[in-house]
Chain A
């Protein structure tokens, strides 16, 4: 941060700069109204809402299953992770549990999504600061991940893979060897990115001590995910409230010390390595068995096996009932949040019984993460705005919902 004295008498000399909503470094449709004194930002006002699609309202008018595809489009850089968070939230509300194999598959999904999202975040971050190669290199690995995701669920982008009580389908037979090959190769790729950036003089100069977020600021603004941890707060939901079996895997949570753009970069790189480490353990320990809960108690609320639907009258009726009437959740309200790539993705659902919630709250981490900009940007040069935006790594899909 520059220590520039702002001359109040020359207020009339300030310039308003409208950045976005279509600026490349805004990663979507964020608009920033910057007030500049020369090249220094004196005031910043983010304008959001361009991507608002009324997801909460829609969620209150659809059944629990029908809403799954909408979760793909929250953080659209990690749709699988959103699917997992939503499914677990519904399961918590309804008291359903997924079988162990389904949970292992969900861990694979969530960690692949995390690597993929961080790769894009890192690539775009570096590109905004002029390091084009990193972007191209990270997209090479993202392509491998998309190929894996395609093997999991048939779609590369809009996955909709989870179901209440499990996942849509089991992994194909050749999936685990493919994942194994990726996991073996990936740490070397991380080394390549780090060779490009971590000790790169330009990179360090552009990110170190830029956009420093203190612990107090981070907590007051509700920052979560790598942005909070880079400021030195040890808060990872996979550790403090393990879900889908994260307690079974060994991994470390990187914590920053300064809370600047450089720390946020380092945290994400280490997180990718740790995700690969989790994937390696899943590969070794993935159990067999069903991928959807077929417990008597919840049988009424989940789809029967497709094979039986096509051959058995009762199953066909059952499928019809589930599809049309869906699951009735018990009356009650609960909150579940998952550690998504960008931070804490929370779902609050209030049910009064019946097939859809009367309140569906989606807490997108990017909404909170972006709110700190008016406090963070003033005092920085315009060029640092790109560094800060890149390091915050937001996605407007979940910010505007």
Chain B
């Protein structure tokens, strides 16, 4: 089934490189996918050329990638375009430096880049100059890290990220008791210590039925 490895068009990659020889590399081909690497600052022109002159008019995807803390340039922003006439796909890979990664937005060429760039910003901290609404899109606004960076641990960085709801200190109990946040939305059970909202509710985990040691 060789059909999986003829999705790219090396000739289009070569044409793109020929149009911008100074700041693009020779197209890289792997398993038939053609990738043109672009230097920072020139991506917009290259993508516009691919759209207007080479017919890559379907905006398929735009996403980031991280080569690791020690790599320089560290970040990639990969844009995938599709040509509906030749039925071939083109990858444009922009490389950005690790500290302070910033590049012009692609929105003037493809309006659909909007959310994709917000996601790259959200996940990698790459900023897009000229983007009208560069906010986080998947993570919560109060999140401070860029979770798809390679050094960010998969289990997250825990409670320091999102403010925990105060539970009156009872969740700090470390004596093997389980803290259960019982109120306010549970129907109040009958009994002396469970008046909803009452002041006398003992800390959960230390409840002893009356009359027992």
Contacts and interface: CB of A to CB of B under 8 A. Distances in A.
Nearest to B150: A358
Interface stretch (A108-116, A215-223, A251-259): A215-223
Contact of B30 (A58, A222, A224, A333): A333
Contacts of B186: none
Contacts, number: 119
A170 interface: no
A93 B80 CA distance: 17
Interface residues of B, number: 46
Interface in A100-127: 103
A48 B137 contact: yes
A358 B67 CA distance: 8
Nearest to A361: B63
**For chain A, which range describes its interface: under 10, 10 to 19, 20 to 34, or 35 or more residues?**
35 or more
A242 B57 CA distance: 21
Nearest to B59: A222
Contact of B61 (A240, A348, A401): A348
B58 A368 contact: no
Nearest to A400: B138
Contacts of B140: 49
A219 to B, nearest CB: 5
Interface stretch (B1-9, B162-170, B187-195, B203-211): B1-9
B3 A336 contact: no
Contacts of A368: 112, 115-116
B180 interface: no
Contact of B111 (A56, A221, A400): A221
Given A49-B138, A58-B154, A219 B31 contact: no
Contacts of A226: none
A241 interface: yes
Summarize A's interface: helix, strand, loop or mixed: mixed
A61 B31 CA distance: 24
A196 interface: no
A87 B140 CA distance: 31
A61 B7 contact: no
Interface string B16-59: 00000000000000111101000000000000000000000111
Given A219-B59, A221-B111, A241-B3, A359 B30 contact: no
A361 B61 contact: yes
Nearest to B110: A220
B171 interface: no
Contacts of B4: 88, 91-92, 241, 243, 336
A358 B75 CA distance: 13
Contact of A97 (B1, B35, B63, B139): B1
Contacts of B137: 48-49
B60 A57 contact: no
B31 A334 contact: yes
Nearest to B67: A358
B61 A363 contact: yes
Given A233-B84, A235-B58, A363-B63, A220 B138 contact: no
B66 interface: yes
A350 B139 CA distance: 23
A372 B82 CA distance: 19
Nearest to A367: B115
B12 interface: no
Interface string B126-148: 00000000001111100000011
A92 B123 CA distance: 26
A103 B4 CA distance: 14
Interface string A85-96: 000100111010
A245 B2 CA distance: 11
A259 to B, nearest CB: 15
B175 to A, nearest CB: 33
A243 B1 contact: yes
A54 interface: yes
Nearest to B115: A371
Contacts of A58: 154
A346 interface: yes
B199 interface: no
A219 B112 CA distance: 9
A335 B115 contact: no
Contacts of A340: none
B65 A350 contact: yes
Contact of A221 (B33, B80, B112, B123): B112
A93 B31 contact: yes
Nearest to B109: A220
A222 B1 CA distance: 28
23 contacts: A52-B139, A57-B154, A219-B58, A220-B110, A220-B112, A221-B110, A221-B112, A222-B58, A222-B61, A243-B1, A334-B33, A335-B33, A337-B60, A358-B68, A359-B65, A361-B63, A363-B60, A363-B63, A367-B115, A368-B112, A371-B112, A371-B114, A375-B111
Interface of B: 1, 3-7, 30-33, 35, 57-61, 63, 65-68, 78, 80, 82, 84, 87, 89, 91, 110-112, 114-116, 119, 123, 136-140, 147-148, 150, 152, 154
Q: Give the 6 A-B residue pairs with the shortest CB-CB distance, closest first.
A: A221-B112, A49-B138, A52-B138, A222-B59, A61-B154, A359-B65
